[in-house]
Copies of this chain bind each other. A is one copy, B any other.
Amino acid sequence: MDIIENLHLDLNLGDILEIVIKIALLIIAYLIVKPIGKKIIKASITKASRRENVSEGRIKTLEKLLLNVYSYTIIFVFIVTLFGIVGLPLGPLLAGAGVLGLAIGFGAQGLVSDIVTGFFILLERQIEVDDYVTTAGYDGIVEEVGLRTTKIRSFDGTLNFVPNRDIQGVSNHSRGIMRALVDIGISYGDDIDHAMRVLQTVCDEFQQDDRFEEGPDVLGVQSFGNSEVILRVLGKTKNMEQWAVERDMRKRIKEAFDHEGIEIPFPHQVHIMKEPK
């Protein structure tokens, strides 16, 4: 607090001028250094990526991360220097265990938590750029994993900024083959064996499809619905192909059922007529 009072007293015009000039020089230096560093990072990454045999996602992740770390570092240096010029000793301010220190400590806690989480996300390769993930209530393609924030692009086009501290568990949908699952209801009056044979014929066709890694196959009677017996078909597909494959299978099953006269039933209801009292 003495700092604040001293601020009012010690300033004279010469000092102020000196400070202004110093700040101007600092800003100029900042504006010159920043883009140069960025270019160096991008160039190094491009060069490095040619030589070594690393996946594209990993390279993008590293490039975004390095640029991110670089900008925070340069801003941090900028601010420390600025405080130095103005004469505010940042160290004691931060280390001072008074009320202000306490408040800042708690405030900064979130920041540390962001960086620690971000560090482990990168170290354990939980997320890489271009992965399709679900985390912290957001769902989409990762555009950048930064030290403090992760950017996720939703499928509707929205760009989500997620503080790393909110990323508690990550569901990464880009790590391996995916399941294609179609549940289809048939009438209680239809022959289950017949319907399962028809479904298996469709499945046999799709087993030739090279988007499938495994199956598909008919599993059996999954449940008894209100108006239909539900049969399940299951297969495993290449990553991100599951939706297209499911759409194709639905269309093909519908056609096969139409051909064989198997009905996908509407909701049924039994009506009993009673005379009014």
Contact = CB atoms under 8 A, between A and B. Distances in A.
Interface stretch (A33-41, A147-155, A201-209): A147-155
Interface string A145-173: 01011000111111111110010111111
A113 interface: yes
A5 B95 CA distance: 15
Contacts of A148: 120, 124
A266 B269 contact: yes
What is the count of identical protomers in the complex? 7
B99 A94 contact: yes
Interface in A63-98: 75, 80, 84, 89-92, 94-98
Contacts of A5: 84, 91
A213 to B, nearest CB: 10
A264 B136 CA distance: 38
Given A138-B171, A158-B173, A268-B274, 17 more contacts: A1-B92, A5-B84, A94-B98, A94-B99, A104-B112, A107-B115, A108-B116, A138-B169, A156-B181, A219-B244, A227-B267, A266-B268, A266-B272, A267-B268, A269-B269, A270-B274, A272-B273
Interface of A: 1-2, 4-5, 75, 80, 84, 89-92, 94-113, 115-117, 120, 123-124, 126, 134, 136-138, 146, 148-149, 153-163, 166, 168-173, 175-179, 181, 184-185, 188-189, 192, 219-224, 226-227, 229, 236, 239, 242, 244, 247-248, 250-251, 254-255, 263-277
